[in-house]
Amino acid sequence: MAGYSEEDVGNIISLEHVNVQIADQSMATLFYVVGLGGTRDPYLNVGLTNMWVNVGEQQFHLPTRKPQVIDGYIGLVVPDLTALEKRLALVAEGLKGSKFCYERREDYMLVTCPWGNRYRCHASQPAFGDMTLGMPYVEFLVAPGTMDGILRFYRTVFGAPSTVETDGVGKFGSVKIGRQQSLWFRETERSLAPYDGHHVAIYVANFSGPYGYLQSRGLISEDVRNHQFRFKDIVDPDNGRPVFTLEHEVRSLRHPMYHRSFVNRDAAQSQREYRRGWDAFTPFQR
């Protein structure tokens, strides 16, 4: 076998955004911008009906409607966990009465948004490549006996490699995305929250292959428009059995927003401890 397979990436090039509806833009600003340290996209969706929040090369899309919650965890990398903890303490008063809470775990910070989405905030580490700010993974809890079929789906339909890994909680399947991102699927015995319409957006190098597979099986939920389509039913390719529901916005690299450059501020800047020339943050290690 030829060497250097570690240089390869699969067909899914990036996980670009997670879209969850939120109930209130001022609370979302307190949580995602002031607390987590994200940066509001200054160019698009700057009103009160939606907000896009940049975290490195990824985004949250936060339309104002009935809140949506992912039954699982969104992984984030932040530059400084201690600074994060201080910022979260500062927004606690403003988010009182909501589901907002946070606790320091051994090697990450577990943070819950005002509507119940849970974030694992990690320091930069080799597992996440050279990322110093961003969204390296989203973990979904799935029904017992479905993980293998889910991994088969991404492998067969999307050409995305996967591994089965083990952490402190147990075994999970990891679908590889681009250089340093992944989607995690972890089986759980507890009952799962019904799917509420949240979505993820991915970019793929080969677009027609996944489209053809899903289209021939009646699984496209929104047909191609502006270089993207949507689907939400993940089926086991071995038998067609539905194994998980998650809306994916699937974009080709010809989508006008591919590799859009996101503005990131350095959340460590403050009026008091201002450092001239250091307003912007580069979300990669030097």
Tell me the residue type at 153: F
User: Cβ of 60: how many Cβ atoms within 10 Å?
Assistant: 24
Contact region for Fe ion (CB under 5 A) — 98-106, 112-120, 135-143, 247-255?
247-255
Place of tokens 């905030």: 121
Subset of residues 256 to 275 that bind Fe ion, contact rule: CB under 5 A? none
User: Reduced to 3 states, what is the DSSP secondary structure of residue 44?
Assistant: coil
Q: How many residues bind Fe ion (CB under 5 A)?
A: 3
| Beta pairing, strands 134-142 & 118-123 | unpaired
Nearest distance from C-beta of residue 1 to Fe ion, angstroms:
39
CA atoms within 13 A on the CB side of 286: 1
CA 260 to chain centre: 17
Q: Among residues 63 and 129, whose Cβ is nearest to Fe ion?
A: 63
Separation between Cα atoms, residue 131 and residue 98, nearest integer Å: 31
DSSP assignment, residue 205? S
Separation between Cα atoms, residue 122 and residue 209, nearest integer Å: 35
Cβ–Cβ < 8 Å for 237, 209: no
Q: Among residues 19 and 264, whose Cβ is nearest to Fe ion?
A: 19
Q: Among residues 176 and 248, whose Cβ is nearest to Fe ion?
A: 248
Q: What does the per-residue mask of binding to Fe ion show for 187-226, with x meaning CB under 5 A?
A: --------------x-------------------------
Q: Among residues 21 and 264, whose Cβ is nearest to Fe ion?
A: 21
Separation between Cα atoms, residue 157 and residue 46, nearest integer Å: 36
- The answer to the question of residue 57 lying near Fe ion (CB under 5 A) is no
Nearest distance from C-beta of residue 228 to Fe ion, angstroms:
9
Q: Among residues 61 and 176, whose Cβ is nearest to Fe ion?
A: 61
Nearest distance from C-beta of residue 81 to Fe ion, angstroms:
29
Q: What does the per-residue mask of binding to Fe ion show for 80-119, with x meaning CB under 5 A?
A: ----------------------------------------
DSSP assignment, residue 41? -
Nearest distance from C-beta of residue 247 to Fe ion, angstroms:
9
Q: Among residues 15 and 201, whose Cβ is nearest to Fe ion?
A: 201
Contact region for Fe ion (CB under 5 A) — 108-116, 118-126, 211-219, 242-250?
242-250
Name the CA radius of gyration of the chain, rounded.
Answer: 19
Subset of residues 1 to 40 that bind Fe ion, contact rule: CB under 5 A? 19
Cβ–Cβ < 8 Å for 79, 64: no
Nearest distance from C-beta of residue 230 to Fe ion, angstroms:
9
- The answer to the question of residue 249 lying near Fe ion (CB under 5 A) is yes
Tell me the residue type at 157: V
Q: Among residues 19 and 39, whose Cβ is nearest to Fe ion?
A: 19
Cβ–Cβ < 8 Å for 110, 118: yes
Q: What are phi and psi of 230, to 5 degrees?
A: -130, 150
Site residues for Fe ion per CB under 5 A: 19, 201, 249
